[in-house]
Structure 1
Amino acid sequence: MEQIIETIHIYHTNDVHSHFESWPQISRYLRERKRQHIEHEEACFVFDIGDFVDRSHPFTEGTAGKGNTHLLNQAGYDAVTIGNNEGITMSKTALNLLYEDANFDIVLGNLWDDGQYPEWAIPSVSYTTGKGTRVGIIGATAEYQAFYSKLGWQITPPRETLKKLAEQMKDEVDVIVCLSHMGIHEDERLAAECPIIDVILGAHTHHLFPEGKFVGPVLLAATGKYGEYLGHVTLKIGLDPKKITDRKAVLYRTDQLAHVEEDVREVNRLIDAGNQAMNEKVFFNPIPLRQNLFGESELSSFFARALIAYTEADCALFNAGIFLGSLEKGWVSKGDLHALLPHPINPCVVTLDGELLTEVYEQSLNKEWPEIEIKGLGFRGTLMGAMIHERLYQNRYGQLFAGNREVLAGKTYTLATLDMFTFGFFFPALKEAEKDYYMPELIRDIFGWYGKEQNID
């Protein structure tokens, strides 16, 4: 007797980062495919694996991310998990409000608020198909302990959390799907350590699996970044007994999905909506502040003073590439600040021994760095640009000073910088040093605060 088979379709996105260039096509395709599967009595689920929100886009910034939630609603998503862009670039209040209008589940097992899950999140959920197959969903996000704790959240190790959740639900469901914003290496470890999970939909490291990847019996799938691909996993389920008989993953290039004239207008409407929401005036700028990518400028000097004034650090260090334009004389709006500094980057004060501060200063003089292209780390520009030093300088005898103090081994100094420089990629000494991250303030918030503090109105 031929075995009765059910086909389950899973569509997934990850790390869209508010790149909406192809979003109208993606949304339309998902709605059409779900309608077709329902007509054929096939189960269909749509998931996002985090970092759908990115505050570098004016629509996201202007709507505090709630516009992104509306887009997911429109496209018919069933569940999402969060990425670090939802989790640590938004204030705790903003994240608590982000999903209040969501028509989908937020599956997140490793984020806590005073010992409880946030009201908007659940650690796992189970869906039952029309043919009775029980599909369990678990989810977790990357563990940025220092950042989450600074915002008032508690974050637990995601891989261990996911293994516990899978064990808890394995006897209650027929299929386990994991929404993992941990990164490719953690996904591979999870698959090796927990083969009772059937599918891991991955994210965070922007990896791409054109046809999926198997680690033992576990199928890993991921779509890269920026909505460039849409993922489709199909599971064939034997109904008596309930068992997966086949599993496959494919990707669709979103620039090859059907376009209509209205798509471009829809993307422009999102940008316009964000810009309109950020028309609020912040401060009056009495003189033009020009950008200089490869040296100091009026603009870099203004921000350097702002960073010192806000953090009260001894000295400051940052790169000129953070400025994506200049500021003209006149009123500066929230939108102007966002266009100038779109990065979800926080300021940070690092406490260093004089020997290490000297090492950092000497590394910052690398003549090749200004031309380096930076990708990731929260940076939304292109080139590093010149390294800017504020109150950190050598006198004519070659002695290094931080403020008015000579930098000496055995003495400690405070350096205000950008959080992206504390991860060890450029300055290894900053990775292990004592740090105080300023959150939820982004660097554009510091810039705007200083403008107002100067009584420029």
Structure 2
Amino acid sequence: MMKERITIFHTNDLHSHFENWSQIHQFLTQERQQLEQAGEEVLLFDIGDHADRSHPLTEGSAGKRNVDLLNNAGYDAVTIGNNEGITFSYEELNDLYRDANFEVILANLFTAEGQRPDWARPYLIKTTKSGVKVGITAVTAEYPVFYEKLGWRISSAKDELKAQVRAMKEKVDIIILLSHLGIREDEWVAEECPEIDVIMGGHTHHVLENGRLHHNVLLAAAGKFGMYTGKVEIEYDHVSGTVSGKTATLYETGELPEAEDHTERWFEEGKQLLSNEITVLNQPIHHNPLEASSPLSHLLAEAVLDWCDADLSIVTGGLLLHPLEAGPVTEYDLHRILPHPINPCLVELSGSELKEVIRQSRHQNWPTTVIRGLGFRGTILGEFVFKELVEKDHQFYVGNEPVLAEKTYRVATVDMFTFGFFFPEMHRARKQYFMPEFLRDILKEKLKGYAR
């Protein structure tokens, strides 16, 4: 055999969009079967963010059902994205892949003590029937503050990557990187690590229809939400001992053959897993995201204020997607109204910074602004709601005391307001993130024993 073809299928950033999974599963299973019957080598990888806790099935099973789906589709290896890494608790992530039939490759995650978790390995070498050795390594995006808060240590992806390439390059014929870093970082890697043959990427949800050669490294990526499945073909020349060709293709899920749809069943299963009752409401708690007086917005603002033990709190109505009806309230109900993987946060602001944040929050277009990313899983931002802040005669008061320019105030809010998109003051400020609790967990505590 002069030349050999190795086919690799890849997915990334599904974010628990299971409405596309039945078709993807069927496509991958059939394609693999056909190729393997023809004697070809086939590998299957996921590049992270397969699990997203905004779906009831992922939430109710702590991601375990995502692993089942990957098992059933015959994946060879996966890496993690930030949704696996920083939206599950330390214990949940440590247990997530316990029943995985595939390898988890991840070079830049360690315990607080500096040990690699026992469920992950920094690289993997696969040998084809003819003896070609394929080395695979993987890295994920760095969110050091969040990982540290959860009990992990995330190291420099680029440094780890270079170390793994050095460790592998004498042992393998082909090097593949599974990168949950984003397109710009992948381009940097292609420039800095010419030994890598193919980078399969994710995180920034970029779509590379036929891949892209960057410094002779093939970049491949399949967008987001299971809208595409990627295929990379590598041709290896046994005579010269080199990669003689590499191509990338994307398959659009909407154009794949119809498959038996399990979307509804998976949703109902998730709902059942979240059927635990929290409280019983005598009356509904109404909600309008565009009203500063919305009762549910005020309850959330109060819950965040108490949780963070702050002087005042700031939330928005758009965080809450529905009102709460009278009668039993289950964990599913709270998940439905607060599906976001968003954590509470305590920010320290001076009085003058606080006034500037209030001024910015009154931008007339903000309540109806459509928000994407930042962990937000709703649509519009909604009206800003303040707890323990009062304005009278053009003067702001916190706890009945006028706001003083030099005084420091403890402001309870949500993590997405600290990422720089909204308030530069909060981005720069000293802050404390509360993890792994999400807003729904905070509201749950508030509602326990609460009836109205």
* C-alpha displacement of 1:393: 3.0
Which residue does the alignment assign to 2:378? Answer: 381
Question: Normalized against structure 1, the TM-score is what?
Answer: 0.97
**Contact 1:230–1:253 under 8 Å retained in 2:** yes
Q: SS at the partner of 1:210?
A: strand
Aligned pairs (5 A) from 1:313-392: 313-392=310-389
d(CA) in 2 for partners of 1:383, 1:148: 28
Matched, 1:162 2:161: yes
Aligned pairs (5 A) from 1:434-445: 434-445=430-441
Q: Deviations over 1:315-347 (max 9, x none)?
A: 111111111111011211000000010001000
Which residue does the alignment assign to 1:283? Answer: 279
* C-alpha displacement of 1:163: 1.5
Aligned pairs (5 A) from 1:38-53: 38-53=36-51
Which residue does the alignment assign to 1:305? Answer: 302
Partner amino acid, structure 1, of 2:369: I
**Contact 1:285–1:451 under 8 Å retained in 2:** no
d(CA) in 2 for partners of 1:163, 1:250: 27
d(CA) in 2 for partners of 1:223, 1:393: 49
Q: SS at the partner of 1:307?
A: helix
Matched, 1:420 2:416: yes
d(CA) in 2 for partners of 1:224, 1:200: 14
Q: Deviations over 1:195-224 (max 9, x none)?
A: 111111111111111111111111111111
Aligned pairs (5 A) from 1:179-218: 179-218=178-217
d(CA) in 1 for partners of 2:297, 2:374: 20
Partner amino acid, structure 2, of 1:411: K
Which residue does the alignment assign to 1:451? Answer: 447
Aligned pairs (5 A) from 1:41-190: 41-113=39-111, 114-190=113-189
Q: SS at the partner of 1:350?
A: strand
* C-alpha displacement of 1:284: 2.1
d(CA) in 2 for partners of 1:328, 1:182: 41
d(CA) in 1 for partners of 2:96, 2:399: 42
d(CA) in 2 for partners of 1:286, 1:315: 28
d(CA) in 2 for partners of 1:117, 1:406: 51
Partner amino acid, structure 2, of 1:286: N
**Contact 2:235–2:246 under 8 Å retained in 1:** yes
d(CA) in 2 for partners of 1:405, 1:11: 62
Aligned pairs (5 A) from 1:202-241: 202-241=201-240
Partner amino acid, structure 2, of 1:319: T
Partner amino acid, structure 1, of 2:373: G
d(CA) in 1 for partners of 2:440, 2:288: 18
d(CA) in 1 for partners of 2:125, 2:373: 34
d(CA) in 1 for partners of 2:246, 2:48: 23
User: Structure 1 unaligned runs (5+)?
Assistant: none
Partner amino acid, structure 1, of 2:173: D
d(CA) in 2 for partners of 1:246, 1:358: 60
d(CA) in 2 for partners of 1:79, 1:111: 16
**Contact 1:163–1:190 under 8 Å retained in 2:** no
Which residue does the alignment assign to 2:35? Answer: 37
> Which sits farther off after the overlay, 72-81 or 351-360?
351-360
Q: Deviations over 1:111-159 (max 9, x none)?
A: 1012111111111110001111111110111100110000000010112
Q: Deviations over 1:356-389 (max 9, x none)?
A: 1111111111110011110111111111111111
**Contact 1:41–1:130 under 8 Å retained in 2:** no
Q: Deviations over 1:368-422 (max 9, x none)?
A: 0011110111111111111111112322x21122333322221100111111111
* C-alpha displacement of 1:431: 1.1
d(CA) in 2 for partners of 1:165, 1:145: 21
Which residue does the alignment assign to 2:266? Answer: 270
**Contact 1:284–1:451 under 8 Å retained in 2:** no
* C-alpha displacement of 1:170: 0.6
Q: SS at the partner of 2:53?
A: coil
d(CA) in 2 for partners of 1:29, 1:132: 28
Q: Work out the number of aligned pairs and report it.
A: 450
User: Structure 2 unaligned runs (5+)?
Assistant: none
Q: SS at the partner of 1:249?
A: strand
Q: Deviations over 1:289-321 (max 9, x none)?
A: 111021121111111111111111111111111
Find 2:398's aligned residue among 397, 402, 405: 402
Q: Deviations over 1:256-280 (max 9, x none)?
A: 11103x22xx111111110111110
d(CA) in 1 for partners of 2:56, 2:368: 27
Which residue does the alignment assign to 1:432? Answer: 428
d(CA) in 2 for partners of 1:379, 1:127: 39
Partner amino acid, structure 1, of 2:364: K
Q: Deviations over 1:415-449 (max 9, x none)?
A: 11111111000111111211100000000000000
Matched, 1:411 2:410: no
**Contact 1:344–1:379 under 8 Å retained in 2:** yes
Which residue does the alignment assign to 1:15? Answer: 13
* C-alpha displacement of 1:455: 4.8
d(CA) in 2 for partners of 1:119, 1:269: 33
